A and B are shown apart, each in its own frame.
Chain A
Amino acid sequence: MRWVKFFVSLCCTGALMYILLVPAPGVGIPFAIGRFLSPSEGFWQNAEPQGVRETPPAQIPGLISEVEIVYDERGVPHIFAQKLTDLFRAQGYVTARDRLWQMEFQTLAAAGRLTEVLGRGPENAILELDRKARRMGMTYGAERSLAAAMADPEMAAILQAYTDGVNAYIHSLTPDQLPLEYKLLHYQPEDWTPLKGFLLLKYIGNTLAGGSNDVQFTHALQIWGPEKVRLLYPDFGPDDSPIVPADTRYDKRTALPIPPVPPGYRPDSLLKPDARLALQAPMETADPVLGSNNWAIAASRSSTGYPILANDPHLNLTLPSIWYEMQLKGPGMNVYGVTVPGAPGIQIGFNDSIAWGATSGAMDVMDFFTVTFRDASRREALLDSQWVPVSRRVEAFVIKGEPAFYDTVLYTHAGPVMYDETFGNTQQPLAVSWMGHEASSEMTTYIRLNQAHNYQDYLKAMSYYYGCPSLAFVFASAQGDIAIRQQGKYVLRWPEQGKYVLDGSRSDHLWQQFIPWDQVPAVLNPVRGFVSSANQHPTGAAYPYYYLPVGAFEAYRGRRLNALLAERDTFTPEDMQAMQLDHTGLLAADILPLMLRELDTLSLTQPQRRAWEELRRWDYAYARDKAAPTVFTRWWAEIMTTIWGDEIKAAGMTLRMPSSAVTTRILQDSVRFSFYRTVGDTTRTDRTALINRTFAQMVSKLHQEYPDSRDWAWARRKTTDILHLTRILRPLGRTGLETDGAGGVLNATERTSGPSWRMIVALGPEPRAWAAYPGGQTGNPGSPAYEKFIETWRAGQYYELWFMKNSADPRHPVTSRLQLHP
């Protein structure tokens, strides 16, 4: 009897321990309850005490000499090393110490391995995301870039040192020190590799240049014909205010000849009706909300007597932030700025002689090709009159808690087959050529910029940037030079090549030649005394090469920026801050006067009058306490949907909505236009009817949803969410921020995206800089520093950055020091 009691008790205890030690993802508990809740090992260990963090000295194998790291009161590490490899080893270690989980998670996303830690997701959402990354060839591109970088001994040494530094941190971790997300999702960090750094760059390349409209434009051509397509999707806008002044002359003699349009080219004949991608196909186009601003003013126009440079990249806002702030001082370099955790060096910043920043060049560097296979085995594909072999890469997807999923990706002469019957739902296999597949050395560019002292060094750094994404690198030096270059590798296109789906069985449709790196749009010390970019068209029509935008080059921010920069003679750094926070919207300025003029105001209802009054008094500022931005944004969306939405829906295939600039131009020019009428409606609809009807519809919906017009305030209707990187662990993000700004204005703060790093650098013998980003230095959600900068950023304030001369620089208080020993 006693033994029976014992065995019953033993079984109960065993069952309990099983529950406490083994995760049960099937019932929504991805972690082991006992371990996770244990105060000695679980999440409690990630709950950092308020106040200063202790930093005991650490030993890093492979260091040549001692490295000193000073943390300032904002948690920014300033690293001081005697040897270059020591510097990057320390950078890897220090970055991992604050951001290890994020570094690894982003490389998993790039490599299409999210299912390993998140499972397949609701309705296979995560698995489909992973399949897209693999079918796009992200890892393939990263492997090729790594091989190219490793051929350069200096880069190979830097990459290896950084990798070793990260691994020194990973290997020092005890179970209780694991970052929180590993505990929550129950997995372990892998060893870092140089490849992961390149996966990160491809991840960013995919964010900024992983889109294309080829299929959408081809559909539009088939439905609406070439004339309409040219009207709806023009290559140049009416007011582009390009990056390179439109009156710039180009030397046509040095330009490469433009290839001829291939004989018999018929872009509307390539996609057969049954091959059209279904509406739900995961086609990606560039998000028009993402973009950036940067500019620099010449010394002659600066209150300080030296150039001033500003940059604010607009990206998806996440916690932990995409950026990590740090200073690196080693032999021959002393640089401050932000780094993408996982990539060596500083990506945006300044040193004692120069400053630089980047915006997305928004170039189309992704083309789709139809593929003609010889037979159902798909081992050979047609090229001109020959059958060429197709290689295959079997991709295994390890899914958490489930058997693996396998997908075979076919690599043709035109790139991997991204869409087919099993992905994207099309009978016509489409291969993708993406600039991200090319071996390129962007990483070298950043290291060279970190070390640059003058314009010549900048130019040398740019010569390495022959890849993707296309970036407009702005530059200013203490010597007084300002410059901007839209750098990247671009296809030398025949006119409209790549705007529509191309024929992969013809070599004259394939990518043959590229624009040389030194013939990209560029300006040095222009007469107007400033250089700027905001994702608009880089050139005027005189530029010798054909450029294709990835979405639409929207010029609103660029126009506003250039107008502000031309408005005054001299600028102070504070003026630069005001410009980054400027939220005047030119779309509204362009079109609202016409909309109000056409509006019949004699018989307005009470809420309609209220909305009209708000708009009538509006100065086009997207300020958080105003109702007008809400009313206008909703009215404009209603107009866009009424003009384009019904036709797109009726077409039943994936199409791109024409831009706001195109819609504005059409409304201004045409009282009658075939798209104004709702599909199926036989009554004639002119512009006046359209404007009045959409106004009534918009107000009725708005009033129904929010009867109290105080709820129409912009900040209540457009709240900004800074989501956790996983998106699913919502409590680890910060939601509901009331912010000024909007997409399409300089302060491009939207619902989930916005200025991810606002930086202003005043060059001089001792450079001064100001910045803020919406996050915190540590990636630990259990630390008070996790969201430390968000309120400063939200309020449009800046921190002055502490650019130290040496580790004993007495001008600022040091919060803690970390010593790294060999």
Chain B
Amino acid sequence: MRFLLRLLLITGLGYVAALYLPFWSAAVVAFVVCLLMSRRRRARLFGRPKPPAFAFWAGFFALAGLWGGLAWQINQQNASLLSEKIAGILLSAIPDVQLPVSAASFMILLTALIGGLMGGFSAMTGNLLGEAIKN
């Protein structure tokens, strides 16, 4: 439940923040949400406390989903025109590279991965700070 709540909060607030603020504001959102939603390890009022890994995955899936989803939508409307060119530039350093997926999917997955890593690490750090303070 809390996992889902965190995930949805980070996704929603991350989306809104990026409309007005630089892209890294999504990392701050993940950090703050998980800081505020962290709890003391000993309290058992609302079920068992979750290890920091849960915060990580909440942040990861939130921003991977957000970035991947937005990229997917843009790519659909653009008919993969630009994503294929960018993939060509990024992969030009590696000779004879064979992608297991289409160039457009590669760019969307890469975007999702980078967003996910940013969200995951920020969320985990926020969670750990909260735990450290509250204990």
Contact = CB atoms under 8 A, between A and B. Distances in A.
Interface string A728-748: 011110000000000000000
A10 B118 contact: no
Residue of A43, A46, A180 with highest tally of chain B CB at under 10 A: A43
A283 interface: no
Residue of A3, A34, A781, A784 with highest tally of chain B CB at under 10 A: A34
A261 B111 CA distance: 71
A807 to B, nearest CB: 30
Contacts of B71: 39, 44
B18 A730 contact: no
A43 B114 contact: no
Nearest to B23: A38
Interface in B103-127: 110-111, 114-115, 117-118, 121-122, 124-125
Nearest to B90: A29
Contacts of A16: 117-118, 121
Interface string A712-735: 000000000000000001111000
A5 B52 contact: yes
Given A2-B135, A6-B128, A730-B88, A44 B70 contact: yes
Contact of A50 (B78, B89, B124): B78
Contact of A47 (B78, B89, B93, B128): B78
A781 B89 CA distance: 12
Contacts of B77: 47, 49-50
B67 interface: yes
Contact of A44 (B74, B125, B128): B74
Given A28-B93, A37-B114, A2 B22 contact: no
Contact of A40 (B23, B75, B89, B128): B23
Given A20-B24, A47-B75, A6 B121 contact: no
A175 B21 CA distance: 11
A9 B128 contact: yes
B105 to A, nearest CB: 14
Contacts of B82: 43-44, 46-47, 180, 781-782
Contacts of A784: 79, 81
B121 A2 contact: no
Contacts of B111: 37-39, 44
A42 interface: yes
B19 interface: yes
Given A37-B110, A39-B111, A17 B27 contact: yes
A731 B89 contact: yes
Contacts of A9: 52, 121, 124-125, 128
B50 interface: no
Contacts of B24: 17, 20-21, 34
Contacts of B92: 730-731
A21 B111 CA distance: 14
A12 interface: yes
A580 to B, nearest CB: 30
Contact of B23 (A5, A41, A729): A41
Contacts of B85: 731-732, 781-782
Contacts of A5: 52, 128, 132
B128 A50 contact: no
A729 B89 contact: yes
Nearest to A50: B79
Contact of B22 (A28, A39, A175): A175
Contacts of A38: 18, 23, 67, 111, 115
Query: How big is the B interface, by class?
Result: 35 or more
Nearest to B131: A2
Contacts of B75: 44, 47
Interface string A8-20: 0110110011001
Given A37-B111, A44-B111, A13 B78 contact: no
A5 B51 CA distance: 12
Contact of A34 (B81, B118, B129): B118
A48 interface: yes
A12 B31 CA distance: 13
Contacts of A232: none
A9 B83 CA distance: 33
A551 B135 CA distance: 83
A599 interface: no
Contact of B78 (A10, A49, A175, A731): A49
Nearest to A35: B23
B5 interface: no
Contact of B18 (A6, A12, A40, A782): A40
Nearest to B93: A28
A814 interface: no
Contact of A782 (B81, B89, B118): B81
B23 A34 contact: yes
A33 interface: yes
A732 B84 CA distance: 10
A184 interface: yes
Interface string B59-78: 00000000100110011011
Contacts of A12: 121, 125
B36 interface: no
B86 interface: yes
A260 B110 CA distance: 72
Interface string A291-312: 0000000000000000000000
Nearest to A729: B89
B110 to A, nearest CB: 7
Residue of A38, A180, A784 with highest tally of chain B CB at under 10 A: A38
A180 to B, nearest CB: 8
Nearest to A3: B132
Nearest to A48: B78
A41 B78 contact: no
A43 B87 CA distance: 11
Contacts of B84: 731
B67 A39 contact: yes
B34 to A, nearest CB: 11
Given A5-B52, A41-B23, A42-B23, A20 B132 contact: no
Interface string A487-517: 0000000000000000000000000000000
Contacts of B128: 2, 5-6, 9-10
Given A9-B121, A42-B23, A731-B88, A47 B70 contact: no
A433 B54 CA distance: 72
Contact of B125 (A6, A35, A47, A783): A6
A42 B67 CA distance: 11
A732 B89 contact: yes
Interface in A167-222: 175, 180, 184
B125 A10 contact: yes
Nearest to A4: B132
Contacts of B83: 47
Contact of B74 (A6, A39, A175, A783): A39
15 contacts: A3-B132, A6-B129, A9-B52, A9-B128, A12-B121, A13-B121, A20-B118, A33-B114, A41-B22, A44-B71, A47-B78, A49-B78, A731-B92, A783-B81, A784-B81
Interface of A: 2-3, 5-6, 9-10, 12-13, 16-17, 20-21, 28, 33-35, 37-50, 175, 180, 184, 729-732, 781-784
Given A6-B131, A34-B24, 11 more contacts: A5-B52, A5-B132, A16-B121, A20-B118, A33-B114, A37-B110, A41-B23, A175-B22, A731-B86, A782-B82, A783-B81
Nearest 6 interchain pairs by C-beta: A731-B88, A38-B23, A782-B82, A39-B70, A47-B78, A49-B77
